[in-house]
């Protein structure tokens, strides 16, 4: 068993200076991003400028959505393979409800969803989902740029970043009364390049360390959890491992969380620069459509070993 410090994920302060490549804050943040991703597959961003209005309005929007009648929530919102739409509680996760909305970094993407769910409009939902997505897309851009710089492939940033679309997700874990301590969402990795989560007041998110400890990631109004997904694991040739995480019921209260996930497209290949005699190629090219189909068929339980099984060399 390691010490306390070894089980603490890095907390990185982002401010306007951190957004300027080459600045002192940028260079320091790059180091912590690398440490967090390589050691834990995750780290926390603290962004003091994130307004409490947006924090409150995004969770107000979550409540608004989950309060809609079930028949309304169940309507189809996307034809994209891997787009989940609305998922009601299931046998494996009976407390969990979620909805995925594509392309919320554009107002057209938000409006497409709104026209289906609220044909008469919902201006607060529209503005909060769009503003939240733009803000968090900024973090995706920054982290992707830092990852490229950390591995000496700054020149690849545009081709990597341009290849992303975004899936926005709301999560709700219903009250249980008798189930404190039980699993709200089973352990899994995400198929994204990275996932960025923002939790409401009720804790529950846990990440697994390499030595099999579950550690709590507590909610804070200005903090965001960045998790490495399967695509980053493949792209980085195993320098970064995708982060296994789960949700545990900690309190007898409804829990809300929100996230923005990068959805990579086309074929993911390890850059030549990340392969040498000491670091031989670990993955065959990964076709996203095919991998998405595999993950839908295999289900959450098989996720830990699926990358190696399907694409390992």
Q: Is 190 one of the binding residues for Fe ion (CB under 5 A)?
A: yes
Q: Is 223 in the site for ligand AKG (CB under 6 A)?
A: no
**Which residues 243-272 are close enough to bind ligand AKG by CB under 6 A?**
245, 247, 257
* Contact track, ligand AKG, 97-136, x by CB under 6 A: -x--------------------------------------
- Residue 270 contact partner, candidates Fe ion, ligand AKG, none, CB within 5 to 8 A by sort of partner: none
Binding residue for ligand AKG, selected from 97, 190, 230, 244, defined by CB under 6 A: 190
The span of 38-46, 150-158, 197-205, 271-279 binding ligand AKG (CB under 6 A) equals 197-205
Q: Shortest gap between Cβ of 149 and ligand AKG (angstroms)?
A: 27
Using the minimum distance from each CB to ligand AKG, give the nearer residue, 250 or 282: 250
| Nearest CB to ligand AKG, comparing residues 109 and 259 | 259
Residues in CB range of 3: below 8 A, 6 or more apart: none
For ligand AKG, the closer of residues 249 and 274 by Cβ is 249
Report the partner that residue 44 touches, choosing among ligand AKG, Fe ion, none (CB closer than 5 to 8 A by kind): none
Among residues 257, 94, 252, the alpha carbon closest in space to that of 179 is found at 252
Q: By CB under 5 A, which span of 82-90, 150-158, 189-197, 212-220 interacts with Fe ion?
A: 189-197
Based on CB atoms, which residue is closest to ligand AKG, 62 or 160? 62
3-state secondary structure the chain: CCCCHHHCCCEEECCHHHHCCCCHHHHHHHHHHHHHHHHHCEEEEECCCCCHHHHHHHHHHHHHHHCCCHHHHCCCCCCCCCCCCEECCCCCCCCEEEEEEECCCCHHHHHHHHHHHCCCCCHHHHHHHHHHHHHHHHHHHHHHHHHHHHCCCHHHHHHHHCCEEEEEEEEEECCCCCCCCCEEEEEECCCCCEEEEEECCCCCEEEECCCCCEEECCCCCCEEEEEECHHHHHHCCCCCCCCCEEEECCCCCCEEEEEEEEEECCEECCCHHHCCCCCCCCECCEEHHHHHHHHHHHCHHHHHHHHHHHHEC
Which is closer to ligand AKG, CB of 24 or CB of 216?
216
What does 199 interact with, of Fe ion, ligand AKG, none (CB < 5 to 8 A by kind)? Answer: ligand AKG
Where on the chain is the footprint of Fe ion (CB under 5 A)? 190
Query: Using CB under 6 A as the criterion, which residues of the chain lie in contact with ligand AKG when the complex forms?
Result: 98, 171, 185, 190, 197, 199, 205, 245, 247, 257
């Amino acid at each position: 068993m390691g010490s306390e410090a070894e089980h603490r994920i890095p907390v990185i302060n982002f401010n306007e200076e951190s957004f300027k490549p080459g600045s002192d804050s940028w260079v320091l943040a790059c180091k912590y991003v690398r440490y967090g991703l390589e050691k834990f597959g995750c780290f926390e961003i603290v962004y003091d400028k994130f307004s409490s209005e947006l924090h409150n309005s995004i969770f107000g929007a979550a409540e608004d959505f989950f309060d809609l009648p079930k028949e309304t929530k169940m309507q189809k919102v996307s034809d994209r393979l891997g787009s989940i739409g609305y998922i009601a509680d299931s046998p494996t996760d009976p407390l969990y409800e979620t909805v995925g909305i594509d392309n919320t970094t554009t107002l057209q993407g938000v409006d497409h969803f709104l026209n289906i769910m609220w044909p008469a409009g919902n201006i607060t939902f529209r503005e909060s989902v769009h503003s939240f997505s733009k803000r968090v897309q900024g973090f995706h851009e920054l982290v992707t740029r830092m990852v490229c710089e950390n591995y000496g492939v700054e020149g690849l940033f545009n081709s990597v970043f341009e290849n992303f679309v975004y899936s926005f997700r709301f999560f709700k874990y219903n009250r249980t009364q008798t189930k404190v301590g039980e699993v709200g969402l089973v352990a899994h990795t995400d198929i994204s390049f990275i996932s960025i989560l923002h939790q409401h007041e009720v804790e529950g998110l846990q990440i697994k360390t390499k030595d099999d400890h579950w550690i709590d990631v507590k909610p804070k109004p200005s903090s965001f959890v960045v998790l490495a997904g399967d695509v980053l694991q493949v792209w980085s040739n195993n320098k970064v491992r995708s982060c296994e995480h789960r949700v545990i019921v900690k309190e007898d209260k409804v829990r809300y969380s929100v996230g923005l996930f990068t959805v990579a497209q086309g074929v993911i290949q390890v850059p030549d620069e990340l392969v040498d005699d000491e670091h031989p190629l670990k993955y065959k090219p990964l076709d996203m459509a095919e991998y998405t189909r595999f993950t839908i068929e295999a289900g959450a339980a098989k996720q830990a070993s699926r990358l190696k099984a399907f694409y390992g060399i």
